[in-house]
Structure 1
Amino acid sequence: MHPIIKALKHHKTAAVLLTLEIALTLAIVANALLVIGDRLGSMTVTTGLPDAELVWVKVSGTDPGISATEWEARTRADLAALRGIPGVESVANVNSVPLSPTGYTQLCLYLKPGSTDRLCNVALYAGSPGYVATLGLHVVRGRNFTDGDHGRFDLFAVDPGAPPPVIVSRSMAARLWPGEDPLGKPVYFDKDGIRASRVVGVSGHLLNPVLAGDPAKDDLNLLMPVLDVHDGRFVLRVRPGTVDRVVATLPRVLAASDDRLVINKVQPLAETVHDYFRDDRALVWLLLGVIASLLALTGFGIFGLTGFWVQERVRVIGIRRALGATRTDIRTYFQLENLAIVTGGAALGAIMAWSLNLWLMLRYELPRLPLLPVAGGVLLVYAIGQLAVLQPSLRACRVSPLAAVRQA
């Protein structure tokens, strides 16, 4: 390596600039890979429901001033009409579905009366009789709701009355009562303990309507039974393969049931999940484009500079060939020279990558940069460096010993 280092000293400026380019590329590529991995990880989450068998519809236009009795009657009529659509197995009135950011409610639950300790960002799923089964959610412990559990309860009313029993997600039960049996445990909706409910069941994994960015918090939720939800949202469980037909038929059926309704949105849950991550997919493609562009620019820089050095060293290469150096020796020389430059750039780039990550952590709450993205970035710049130097090194191999005589 000594002759290589000695030769690079005669091209300090070019070598330093190329090293800085490689370092900057590595710093950006490593953090871009971190973001891509983080986004891809969030896109692989599961809702806990049979997405391909669920369709939801959001309607408006119902007069909020009508009596509760008339509201319930109209809701029952709408449910009956939707239940009659071919392919529909069950229907329920709900306030929200996973990864549907509209109409959802978040709660703060108090751990005990008179205490300020509370668990926030808990998603509330409320629905009419049968909605747990319609969603396809499994109760893994305790019991499901019965018809007697459903009543007229509005958590945000001035006088909501006694809260009904609730079902909590397995993750929330573990957070509130670690190592304990959650069944029968009280759930407090205010710090005074006036509005308290009891846990009758524990559900399996159920994703929240909005992700918190922390997998440990993305399925903290509870389910509450009500007679109807004044939100105008219905969820339909359909037979496999009938989703498109149900989506096409649904608007006409609802219009025939109640011509005062305005259908805001009809969407399969699988499509809702896909739409939720639209921005994440766009960001991933953008970052992949940035990575490809940076690696291409770095590769062209190495290619051009190595080609210039080959042209400048024709006499030296010819002398080495005359002294017995083989074509493999010449090619290996330029590859090792590139390896030395890339190694220096990789070392500096790793420091810059972690420094950039620290700034991103403080500014944008990006996760800490592990070793894997840095290692991946190092391998990429090494690969690009060796590919970029291949053609100029092969051209150097073709320099004959006579070249030294011609340039003497």
Structure 2
Amino acid sequence: MLELRPILSALWRHKISALLIALQLGLTLAIVSNASVVIQEREERIARPTGIAEADIVTAHFMPIPKDYDLLEAFRLDMDMIRQLPGVAAATISRAPLAGSGSSGGFHTKPHQEVGSTGAAFFSGDEHFIDALGMKLVAGRNFTPSEIRIMESSSSERPTITIITQQLADTLFPEGNALGKSLYFGGDDNPMEIVGIVERNLGPWPNSSVAGNTVFFPAIMETQWYDYIVRAEPGQRDAVLKLLEEKMAERDAERVIEVKTLTEQKTRYYAGDNTMIKVLTGVVSLLTFIVALGIVGLTVFWITQRQKQIGVRRALGATRTAISRYFLLENLMIAATGVALGTAAAQIFNQFLASEFGQPALPLSTTLVCAFILLAVSLTSALVPALRAANISPAMATRSV
């Protein structure tokens, strides 16, 4: 405690440089803590379970060369061929999830409702759809072959049954027991009975507000382009991908075929999030390095200025430990001031980001963890110069200025 008065006196004499370091620490804490919560939110978003067997799925898409191409016949022949390929567990025709392209609409629990709809993505598919995506049916049943309709995309006809995700069931029917209830698309009065509920499906846009709210119709649109969704047996995905492209080209050479894994599509969809994580991680690392560099430079500068004073203290019996402790305590006081300012600035900055850009709220625990890390970085940065000061000889006190 006897060291506090000389430390405060020294800091007052160098108040500008000490204040600049404290402000630098505070600004760094505000940025680092908010960047950390954004990184954590993006990582959690990417790591969410999708509800599908994404690691085993291959998708294929083709564009025909002839203008009078018979899509339905191509679908039928391709599916018959694909389902016979070695390594294929299941295959279907639909839009691929996680790809950033699809359809959505508003759904109601009562007919003729114009407002208060619940947004959801929707897919149309056949009786193989759930199996091909590897989804888990938690209640009810799957579609049957007799329920699959061939429909024109411009048709106003609606399916009479549907399967939905558990998340959408909980949203529309919070009291539970959604199975057997009716669902209405838009403001129409055509009921669709919920015959099945799957555990999870994030839909085509995992980052959207409708992610997880997904509806499945038993239909194939006659004039709509689709993806072939092929689920391979575990460990057979790459072999199936190669074979699928080869056999599709072999069966019909008058089309351009694109085959890729669902993992690739998911990675492409999350490319912006991954880039954001890398950029923010780089910013956090750079700011922390700059703070450490500033602390090292300031401590070395002060030690150089006080060499004779340190020599006098050593001549009067001060131990090396006492000299090192003096500079570490001095650094800790600066760092603590900066962290206190940074904690308040982090919360204010987060409130602005949350209101203007919809960023996640910053928990106080995250700020405190970042503050502890910056304090540790600060003390570690000052440690080497402090040890150097402890090695200054008492003979420095006898040298003339």
- Give the deviation of 1:213 after TM superposition: 5.2
- Give the deviation of 1:57 after TM superposition: 0.8
- Give the deviation of 1:270 after TM superposition: 2.5
Q: Please name the residue that 1:259 is paired with.
A: 253
- CA gap 1:356/1:59 in 2 versus in 1, 3 angstroms: same
Alignment of 1:173 with 2:169, yes or no, is yes
Listed one character per residue, the Cα deviations across residues 102-143 of structure 1 (whole Å, up to 9, x for unaligned) are 3x1111112322333333430112112322222221211111
Choose which of 117, 120, 123 in structure 2 pairs with 1:122: 120
Equivalent-residue separation in structure 1 for 2:66 and 2:174 (angstroms): 45
In structure 2, give the amino acid aligned to 1:18. Answer: I
- Give the deviation of 1:336 after TM superposition: 0.4
Identity between Structure 1 and Structure 2 (%): 32
Q: Please name the residue that 2:31 is paired with.
A: 28
- CA gap 1:379/1:64 in 2 versus in 1, 3 angstroms: farther
Q: Please name the residue that 1:42 is paired with.
A: 45
Alignment of 1:112 with 2:110, yes or no, is yes
- Give the deviation of 1:3 after TM superposition: 2.1
- Give the deviation of 1:101 after TM superposition: 1.1
Q: Please name the residue that 1:57 is paired with.
A: 60
Alignment of 1:210 with 2:205, yes or no, is yes
CA contact under 8 A between 2:159 and 2:218: conserved in structure 1?
A: no
CA contact under 8 A between 2:149 and 2:219: conserved in structure 1?
A: yes
In structure 2, give the amino acid aligned to 1:21. Answer: Q
SS at match of 1:226: strand
Alignment of 1:90 with 2:93, yes or no, is no
Alignment of 1:310 with 2:303, yes or no, is yes
Q: Please name the residue that 1:342 is paired with.
A: 335
Choose which of 7, 25, 28 in structure 1 pairs with 2:10: 7
Superposition pairs for residues 235-254 of structure 1, below 5 Å?
A: 235-254=229-248
CA contact under 8 A between 2:113 and 2:186: conserved in structure 1?
A: no
TM-score normalised by structure 2 residue count: 0.93
In structure 2, give the amino acid aligned to 1:35. Answer: V
SS at match of 1:118: coil
SS at match of 2:225: coil
CA contact under 8 A between 1:23 and 1:345: conserved in structure 2?
A: yes
Alignment of 1:149 with 2:152, yes or no, is no
CA contact under 8 A between 2:117 and 2:186: conserved in structure 1?
A: no
CA contact under 8 A between 1:55 and 1:243: conserved in structure 2?
A: yes
Equivalent-residue separation in structure 2 for 1:290 and 1:31 (angstroms): 12
In structure 1, give the amino acid aligned to 2:203. Answer: N
- Give the deviation of 1:342 after TM superposition: 0.3
Equivalent-residue separation in structure 2 for 1:393 and 1:249 (angstroms): 66
Choose which of 390, 400, 406 in structure 1 pairs with 2:393: 400
Equivalent-residue separation in structure 2 for 1:345 and 1:385 (angstroms): 11
Listed one character per residue, the Cα deviations across residues 72-117 of structure 1 (whole Å, up to 9, x for unaligned) are 33311111122232222322111232x1113x11111123223333
Choose which of 4, 15, 19 in structure 2 pairs with 1:16: 19
CA contact under 8 A between 2:111 and 2:191: conserved in structure 1?
A: no
SS at match of 1:125: strand
SS at match of 1:294: helix
Equivalent-residue separation in structure 1 for 2:238 and 2:163 (angstroms): 32
Alignment of 1:270 with 2:263, yes or no, is yes
CA contact under 8 A between 2:126 and 2:145: conserved in structure 1?
A: no
Q: Segments of 4+ in structure 1 off by > 6 A?
A: 62-66
Equivalent-residue separation in structure 2 for 1:233 and 1:208 (angstroms): 14
CA contact under 8 A between 1:111 and 1:118: conserved in structure 2?
A: no
In structure 1, give the amino acid aligned to 2:106. Answer: C
Equivalent-residue separation in structure 2 for 1:187 and 1:248 (angstroms): 41
SS at match of 1:152: strand
Listed one character per residue, the Cα deviations across residues 299-336 of structure 1 (whole Å, up to 9, x for unaligned) are 11111111111111122212222222111011000000
Equivalent-residue separation in structure 2 for 1:118 and 1:212 (angstroms): 22
Q: Please name the residue that 1:188 is paired with.
A: 184
